[in-house]
Amino acid sequence: MPASRLPTGMDAYDRITRNAAEVVTDEEARALADAPDGKRAYVGYEPSGVLHVGHMLTANKLIELQDEGFEVVVLLADVHAYLNGKGTFAEIRDTATRMQEQFVAYGLDPDRTEFVLGSEYQLDEEYVLDLHSLELETSLSRAERAMAEIAGDDTATVAHAVYPLMQALDIVYLDVDLAIGGMEQRKVHMLARDTLPSIDASAPTCLHTPLIADLTTGVGKMSSSGGLSISMEDSGADIAKKVEKAYCPPTADPDPTDNGEERENPVLQLFEYHVFPRFSEVVVERPDQYGGNLTYGSYDALETDLESGELHPADAKGALATCLNDLIAPGRERIRSDHD
């Protein structure tokens, strides 16, 4: 497994915010970057049996933050998963353990990562009363809007309204300075920033990672339910097949669809957000017929070559599949041995 290798010449602020879609606020992030030691960053995940690229994208950021001196907390949000209808409590608890193992296999240092099960503290009387206090401060429609990107299209339940408020409280109870999440978390985090002062708690700084576009269309975000997604249980052949099918015009900025929907290039996104943060060098194997192998030390160089036509998408895809497979292989081994 390659260690994360950050480009030289970047200051702490640049490294902390690298590949972020958004930071709230910039000033707060700069303050954290000035004195990162002992500061705490966290991400909460609903336990699921198998990590997918979305989990790994935020995990990349956690690994980088560890290297910057942050204390990293991973919340295995079993109660949240239960509130979001992900199964019985016993089932969810079981998957939490496996998820933790996969994060470690992926590269989170077990000695420097605090894994916390939500139910360890979220059912305490003090927590529940604080939660009710936040409920008093929050309109139903605000809570519902915060959850819109998280809870599918199913009818909103009372559980869904409570869910984001618990996320806000978690930030207090886990003593978090920097909340990490995908862009789908932004409304939850904004809600936390708005309402936490009402219980005399300080609002967190937030850093949001981009969402990888749908693999086959480049539209919207990759979902584990709908289209293709890449997960830790994929075999090398599975990954090769999925990457093969990916939408990949020779540009980082594809034209919108006929319906006017914005499109991204998911292959380039995977290079940018998954491959280069973890590999210092990427070798693209290319038949002599087309010019032989290419080597890239940065995402920008690869993007430039794809745009110019020097790098053909089919060759880029081959390298992408190889890299993704290398990233996933340790976790896949972990899953396999669990099944035995």
Question: Structure tokens of 234?
Answer: 């994929």
Shortest separation between residue 225's beta carbon and RNA, angstroms: 9
Nearer to RNA, 128 or 158 (CB): 158
Cα 192 to Cα 184: distance, rounded to the nearest angstrom: 14
User: Which of 340, 243, 339, 270 has the alpha carbon at shortest distance from 49?
Assistant: 339
> Would you say 248 and 269 are in contact if contact means Cβ atoms under 8 Å apart?
no
Min dist CB 306 to RNA, Å, is 9
- The CB-of-301 to RNA minimum distance in angstroms stands at 17
Of the two residues 194 and 307, which places its CB atom closer to RNA in the complex?
Answer: 307
In the complex, least distance from residue 222 CB atom to RNA, rounded to whole angstroms? 13
Phi, psi of 234 (to 5 degrees): -70, 140
Binding site for RNA (CB under 7 A): 155, 216, 227, 244-250, 267, 286-287, 290, 312-315, 317
- Which of 206, 275 has the CB closer to RNA? 275
Instruction: Pick between residue 133 and residue 157 the one whose CB is nearest to RNA.
Output: 157
Integer-rounded Cα Rg, in Å, for the chain is 20
Q: Which is nearer to RNA, 43 or 321 (CB)?
A: 321
| CA 284 from centroid of its chain's CA atoms | 26
By CB atoms closer than 10 A (0-12, 13-18, 19+), residue 141 is exposed
Distance of alpha carbon 67 from alpha carbon 170, whole angstroms: 24
**Shortest distance, position 216 Cβ to RNA, whole Å:** 5
Q: Which is nearer to RNA, 115 or 163 (CB)?
A: 163
Shortest gap between Cβ of 312 and RNA (angstroms)?
Answer: 3
Q: Which residues contact 233 (CB under 8 A, 6 or more apart)?
A: 50, 332, 335
